Amino acid sequence: MTNSDLAAVVAAVRERIDPDEEERRALAEAAAELESRVHDALAELPVEADVLQVGSTARGTWLSGDRDIDLFVRFPDDLDREQLAEYGLEVGHAVLPDGHEEYAEHPYVKGDYDGFDVDLVPCYDVPTASDIRSAVDRTPFHNEYLVERLDDDLAADVRVFKRFLKGIGAYGSDLRTEGFSGYLAELLVLEHDGFEPLLQAATDWHPQVEFDPEDHGTRTFSDPLVVIDPTDPERNVAAVCSAANVARLQHYARDLLADPREDLFFQAGPPALDAEAIRSHLDRRGTTPAAVVFDAPDLVDDQLYPQLRKSLDGIADELDRRGFDVFRTELFAADDDAVLFVELSVAERPAVERHVGPPVHVRQHAEGFYGAYENGNGYYGPFLDGDRYVVEREREFTSATKFLTSDALFDVALGKHVESTLREDGYDVLVGDEVATLAATFGAELGRYFDPRP
Amino acid sequence: MTNSDLAAVVAAVRERIDPDEEERRALAEAAAELESRVHDALAELPVEADVLQVGSTARGTWLSGDRDIDLFVRFPDDLDREQLAEYGLEVGHAVLPDGHEEYAEHPYVKGDYDGFDVDLVPCYDVPTASDIRSAVDRTPFHNEYLVERLDDDLAADVRVFKRFLKGIGAYGSDLRTEGFSGYLAELLVLEHDGFEPLLQAATDWHPQVEFDPEDHGTRTFSDPLVVIDPTDPERNVAAVCSAANVARLQHYARDLLADPREDLFFQAGPPALDAEAIRSHLDRRGTTPAAVVFDAPDLVDDQLYPQLRKSLDGIADELDRRGFDVFRTELFAADDDAVLFVELSVAERPAVERHVGPPVHVRQHAEGFYGAYENGNGYYGPFLDGDRYVVEREREFTSATKFLTSDALFDVALGKHVESTLREDGYDVLVGDEVATLAATFGAELGRYFDPRP
């Protein structure tokens, strides 16, 4: 079944995202020049090596405007790691004299050439993907697999699918997004032989959904989406993809097929909110927001976001456990600021809490419990509820604010660097309308928070 | 093992509860005179019947000061029920000229004789307890069973045990108390061959605890305590006894054996509270009490209390379900007033509530849910939480008071007559410090509420 309305929408999207001849030519010329420079640099080294362009710009799946050129320099796999790094940097600096060093599994050089962002990454030239010595060694195999299989039509569909994922906010395998990587998008289009058949299939997925293009998978996974890497039977390419992002793809796939329209590919998101608009939402909702605000630890996003998420979950769980019902949570981070945002249905509790003891017939425990509370003044009881002793004793924290500003916050399992930052640099707690001041830094994020969409 | 301190306490208790010679003689004389009058009245009737004294005063297990004489008139079991009732009332009025009619399974006459409360109850003279035509027919068999087995020592121990049950608040098989009946107390003392061995055993009970003196039980029960009626293999004499009252006996049995003292047999309970004391407790606790106050329906206690309890549980469950966390509940009834008392930890909720929809992959439900909320203004969302749609919509009741004063109260499963009373006669809802006004009628009950003991 082909949907002619969808076809028209896709054509319109392609008008906007397909690189034109000039862009393709400029990129090809830049890549060729860079490869030539690499060969020159390699000629100076006492080692045999080759260079390979990889990534979306190597296989025609980049979107117009993307300016990334990834060149992998493959060294013999009997080199030790130090030499690999040394040679890699030597080539990198020769090719990109103004480049700077970054670090993934090895150090590598990143720099600008003719308006392109160029990564020059050293790796080992291993016989198969099963022999890799570091994660980057896998990339040439991915590249080879896709280049062999993606013709121009499929490459175009990959571009459309990637634009769709960007439009719905599900593109990116970074640990902030937890979405679909470019490689995953390419494999899914390949597996379904096109964009529209992939969408049709996604509408009826019942996660866990598993694809194994080479039919060689050897492990089981618990992720909602499993795509076994065609170059590595042990690896789920979709391991990072969250249940929400799988559901998001399903939701918008249904939406697009039912009502094809271009704007789903280019969603802008709700407008940013100012302080007044935030106060107005809080007034309408009647909840009590509390924000733990601090200087973000100096970490890359893939380390920062998991730590922020762990900290937020830990705090929210502990608030819930203490009777402060959590309505919704979110984390915000930008530049140097981080916010753990907890919106509460219940922000105050009474001075007493119920403490249920053992059944009276469990004699040793029951006598211990009763003895511990007998003749004391700080509580009501013990009395019986059914066959159990119960006391009503003083509650440790009668407000969420008191908990958040106490040392008990550090009994929660926080991200390691978040914990040290909170301890050493301190933090602010904003409660109620005070959170409206966050609009200055996080107006856009709060706009999404108060206008949430799939 | 005999506990000499306990023996001394029991002796002191017996000083206070054993009927003395004069009391026994007065009772015997009254009973004999009443029996003689019954014989005279029966002589006027065209039927053969006999009379039997039953109950605690018939078997020496009454406590000094009890003034109940129960006489059962046994008619042939081929009489129809109307004739039984007619003859029974005729005898009753002849014996107790100033008596009045009451109604259990049959009508019977109740009246005063020489300071004694006399019940004159007609029943059928059936061959065995398995042949009974109404519940009262069983009583003569109970009487016969116990009279044959309770010697003076055991009867004395029954009196002590009954006084102990009264002291701890667990005496009575009425549906207000849900405790131990006199007959159950007698069977337990008989089964354990005395008061102290019974207490020793109770300290280590692990409910369900089952006794079957005649080893003839044919059914299984779910009650915490099961004592198969020696005169009826199908009946659990302890069916009414609640888990809390079984636990209560265990608790105080341990207490008495560890620290024998007379006051456990004559506990007064905490003092009544005035309005100021109630406000002081509420202030200390920081909770929000709410009381539904109404004229008690005109029912006997055994009908009233189950209906009040059902109503209270229904209201508390619904408050909890709506997010108003219930801390403790109690029901008060006296004279014509009834109160369903609900102490809340959370009495207010925000204007919004979270409504979790189906997982996106359950396509039909998911599309129905999303369609129902799409493009509306009254809520936030739908958005995704994991693989599910969620909306935040307007909460129906933002305060417990609003719920309690609304018609939604009648969607709760209330006791039948409670519901009609609330509907027809209306009710008041007292909230917060307003409940202190209940001190005027329920000061003693609130005294127990705010000084709860096992």
For residue A217, the SS3 value is coil
| Total Cβ atoms within 10 A of residue A426 | 9
Q: Is the peptide bond before B364 cis (omega within 30 degrees of 0)?
A: no
Q: What are the tokens at B396? A: 């129906």
DSSP codes of every residue in B201-249? HHHT--SSEEE-TTS-------SSEEEEETTEEEEETTTT--HHHHHHH
The chain B residue lying nearest A398, using CA atoms, is B286
Under a CB-based contact definition with an 8 Å cutoff, are residues A71 and A51 in contact?
A: yes
* C-alpha–C-alpha distance, residues A246 and A178, integer Å: 10
Considering A117, A140, A163, which residue would you say is the last residue of a domain? Answer: A140
* C-alpha–C-alpha distance, residues B69 and B86, integer Å: 22
Q: Are residue B109 and residue B127 in the same domain, yes or no?
A: yes
In total, how many domains does chain B have? 4
Out of A206, A370, A392, the one facing B361 most closely (by C-beta) is: A206
pLDDT band at B1 (very low <50, low <70, confident <90, very high): very low
Feature table: binding site of A for CTP = 56, 59, 142, 162, 171
| CB proximity list for A220: less than 8 A, separation 6 or greater | none
Does residue A286 sit at the B interface (CB-CB below 8 Å)? yes
Query: What's the whole-number mean pLDDT along residues B172-198?
Result: 97
Considering A221, A243, A266, which residue would you say is the last residue of a domain? Answer: A266
Q: What is the pLDDT of residues B41-76, one digit of tens each?
A: 999 999 999 999 999 999 999 999 999 999 999 999
The chain A residue lying nearest B398, using CA atoms, is A286
Q: B114 — alpha (psi -120 to 50), left (phi > 0) or beta? A: left
Residue B374 has pLDDT above 90, yes or no: no
Does residue B255 sit at the A interface (CB-CB below 8 Å)? no
The 8 Å CB, 24+ separation contacts for B130-136 are B130/B232, B131/B77, B133/B77, B134/B105, B134/B106, B135/B104, B135/B105, B136/B72, B136/B104, B136/B105, B136/B106
Q: Which residues on adjacent β-strands are paired with residue B339? A: B293, B332
Query: Chain A, 379-398: which have a CB under 8 Å from a chain B CB?
Result: 380-389, 392, 398
Q: Using CA atoms of A230, A231, A235, A239 in order, give the dihedral in degrees to the nearest 10.
A: -60
Q: What is the pLDDT of residues A154-194, one digit of tens each?
A: 999 999 999 999 999 999 999 999 999 999 999 999 999 99
For residue A314, the SS3 value is helix
Across the interface, whether the CB atoms of A244 and B385 are under 8 A apart is answered: yes
Out of A246, A361, A385, the one facing B387 most closely (by C-beta) is: A246
The answer as to whether A31 is a domain residue is yes
ipTM of the complex: 0.92
**What backbone phi and psi angles, to 5 degrees, belong to A273?**
-110, 145
What's at A125, amino acid-wise?
A: D
The answer as to whether A59 is a domain residue is yes
H-only helix segments in B286-329: 301-321
Ranking A115-124, A201-210, A307-316, B125-134 by mean pLDDT, the lowest is: B125-134
Under a CB-based contact definition with an 8 Å cutoff, are residues A249 and A170 in contact?
A: yes
Q: What is the pLDDT of residues A31-57, one digit of tens each?
A: 999 999 999 999 999 999 999 999 999
Classify residue B138 by its DSSP letter: G
* C-alpha–C-alpha distance, residues B30 and B17, integer Å: 20
Q: Are residue B251 and residue B280 in the same domain, yes or no?
A: no
Across the interface, whether the CB atoms of A247 and B207 are under 8 A apart is answered: no
* C-alpha–C-alpha distance, residues A299 and A310, integer Å: 15
Q: Are residue A26 and residue A101 in the same domain, yes or no?
A: yes
Token pair 């979790």: residue: B356
| CB proximity list for B411: less than 8 A, separation 6 or greater | B318
Across the interface, whether the CB atoms of A387 and B328 are under 8 A apart is answered: no
To probe the interface with A, which of B320, B363, B387 has the most A CB atoms within 10 Å? Answer: B387
Q: What is the pLDDT of residues B124-159, one digit of tens each?
A: 999 888 888 888 899 999 999 999 999 999 999 999
Query: What is the domain-level CATH number for residue A336?
Result: 3.30.70.590
Q: Are residue A290 and residue A403 in the same domain, yes or no?
A: yes
Cα A202 to Cα A45, A198, A317, B413: the distances in Å are 50, 6, 33, 45
The answer as to whether B172 is a domain residue is yes
Q: Are residue B329 and residue B438 in the same domain, yes or no?
A: yes
Which is it for strands B68-76 and B116-125: parallel, antiparallel or unpaired?
parallel
Predicted local distance difference test score (pLDDT) of residue A131: 87
Residue range(s) defining the domain that contains residue B368: 352-394
Taking each continuous run of H as one helix and of E as one strand, the counts in chain A are 14, 15
Across the interface, whether the CB atoms of B250 and A361 are under 8 A apart is answered: yes
For residue A397, the SS3 value is coil
Out of B349, B388, B453, the one facing A345 most closely (by C-beta) is: B349
The reply, when asked if residue B448 is annotated as ligand binding, is no
Q: Which residues on adjacent β-strands are paired with residue B75? A: B124
* C-alpha–C-alpha distance, residues A397 and A406, integer Å: 9
* C-alpha–C-alpha distance, residues B185 and B192, integer Å: 11
To probe the interface with B, which of A208, A252, A345, A453 has the most B CB atoms within 10 Å? Answer: A345
Out of A248, A327, A451, the one facing B350 most closely (by C-beta) is: A327
Q: What is the pLDDT of residues A393-444, one digit of tens each?
A: 999 999 999 999 999 999 999 999 999 999 999 999 999 999 999 999 999 9
Sheet holding B68-76, edge to edge: B50-54, B68-76, B116-125, B107-113, B100-103
B78 alpha carbon, distance to own chain's centre: 35
Residue A59 has pLDDT above 70, yes or no: yes
Q: Are residue A338 and residue A356 in the same domain, yes or no?
A: no
Chains A, B: CB pairs < 8 Å = 143
Distance from CA of A98 to the nearest CA of B (A): 44
Query: What is the domain-level CATH number for residue B227?
Result: 1.10.1410.30
Q: Are residue B123 and residue B182 in the same domain, yes or no?
A: no
Question: Closest by alpha carbon to A180, among A109, A108, A241, A91?
Answer: A241
Q: Is the peptide bond before B297 cis (omega within 30 degrees of 0)?
A: no
Under a CB-based contact definition with an 8 Å cutoff, are residues A117 and A69 in contact?
A: yes
Q: Are residue A229 and residue A338 in the same domain, yes or no?
A: no
For residue B394, the SS3 value is strand
Q: What is the pLDDT of residues B318-347, one digit of tens each?
A: 999 999 999 999 999 998 999 999 999 999
Residue B69, exposed/middle/buried by CB under 10 A (0-12, 13-18, 19+)? buried
Under a CB-based contact definition with an 8 Å cutoff, are residues B397 and B406 in contact?
A: yes
Does residue B449 sit at the A interface (CB-CB below 8 Å)? no
Q: What percent of chain A has pLDDT over 70?
A: 100
The chain A residue lying nearest B327, using CA atoms, is A354
Predicted local distance difference test score (pLDDT) of residue B89: 94
Query: What's the whole-number mean pLDDT along residues A254-259?
Result: 96
Cα B308 to Cα B143, B404, B418, B432: the distances in Å are 34, 16, 7, 22
Across the interface, whether the CB atoms of B244 and A387 are under 8 A apart is answered: yes
Predicted local distance difference test score (pLDDT) of residue A2: 57
Under a CB-based contact definition with an 8 Å cutoff, are residues B99 and B107 in contact?
A: no
The reply, when asked if residue B325 is annotated as ligand binding, is no
To probe the interface with B, which of A383, A399, A451 has the most B CB atoms within 10 Å? Answer: A383
Question: Closest by alpha carbon to A180, among A141, A227, A135?
Answer: A227
pLDDT band at A134 (very low <50, low <70, confident <90, very high): confident
The reply, when asked if residue B56 is annotated as ligand binding, is yes
Does residue B257 sit at the A interface (CB-CB below 8 Å)? no
The answer as to whether A9 is a domain residue is no
Out of B286, B367, B382, the one facing A454 most closely (by C-beta) is: B382
pLDDT band at A74 (very low <50, low <70, confident <90, very high): very high
* C-alpha–C-alpha distance, residues B272 and B414, integer Å: 29
Out of B204, B381, B387, the one facing A243 most closely (by C-beta) is: B387
Chain A residues closer than 8 Å to B382 by CB: 453-454
Query: What's the whole-number mean pLDDT along residues A9-15?
Result: 97
The answer as to whether A256 is a domain residue is yes
Considering B88, B118, B147, which residue would you say is the last residue of a domain? Answer: B147
The answer as to whether B377 is a domain residue is yes
DSSP codes of every residue in B323-360? T--EEEEEEEEETTEEEEEEEES--B--SEEEEEEEET
Q: Are residue B81 and residue B182 in the same domain, yes or no?
A: no
Residue A246 has pLDDT above 90, yes or no: yes
| Total Cβ atoms within 10 A of residue A134 | 15
Q: Are residue A170 and residue A156 in the same domain, yes or no?
A: yes
Q: Which helix (H) or strand (E) holds A345?
A: none
The answer as to whether A97 is a domain residue is yes
Predicted local distance difference test score (pLDDT) of residue B42: 94
Q: What is the pLDDT of residues A443-453, one digit of tens each?
A: 999 999 999 99
* C-alpha–C-alpha distance, residues B431 and B290, integer Å: 4
The answer as to whether B11 is a domain residue is no
Q: Using CA atoms of B405, B408, B414, B418 in order, give the dihedral in degrees to the nearest 10.
A: 40
Query: What's the whole-number mean pLDDT along residues B3-14?
Result: 93
Q: Are residue B31 and residue B110 in the same domain, yes or no?
A: yes
Query: Chain B, 195-224: which have a CB under 8 Å from a chain A CB?
Result: 203-207, 224
Classify residue B171 by its DSSP letter: B
Question: Closest by alpha carbon to B392, among A389, A195, A327, A444?
Answer: A327
| CB proximity list for A258: less than 8 A, separation 6 or greater | none
Under a CB-based contact definition with an 8 Å cutoff, are residues A410 and A419 in contact?
A: yes
Predicted local distance difference test score (pLDDT) of residue B2: 57
Out of A204, A243, A349, the one facing B345 most closely (by C-beta) is: A349
Query: What's the whole-number mean pLDDT along residues B196-217?
Result: 97
Q: Are residue A296 and residue A440 in the same domain, yes or no?
A: yes
Distance from CA of A330 to the nearest CA of B (A): 12
For residue B273, the SS3 value is coil
Predicted local distance difference test score (pLDDT) of residue A1: 46
Distance from CA of B316 to the nearest CA of A (A): 15
HSE-CB at A428 with a 13 A cutoff on CA atoms is 13
Residue B166 has pLDDT above 90, yes or no: yes
Q: What percent of chain B has pLDDT over 90?
A: 92
Question: Closest by alpha carbon to A139, among A157, A152, A121?
Answer: A121
Question: Closest by alpha carbon to B31, among B115, B153, B157, B125?
Answer: B115
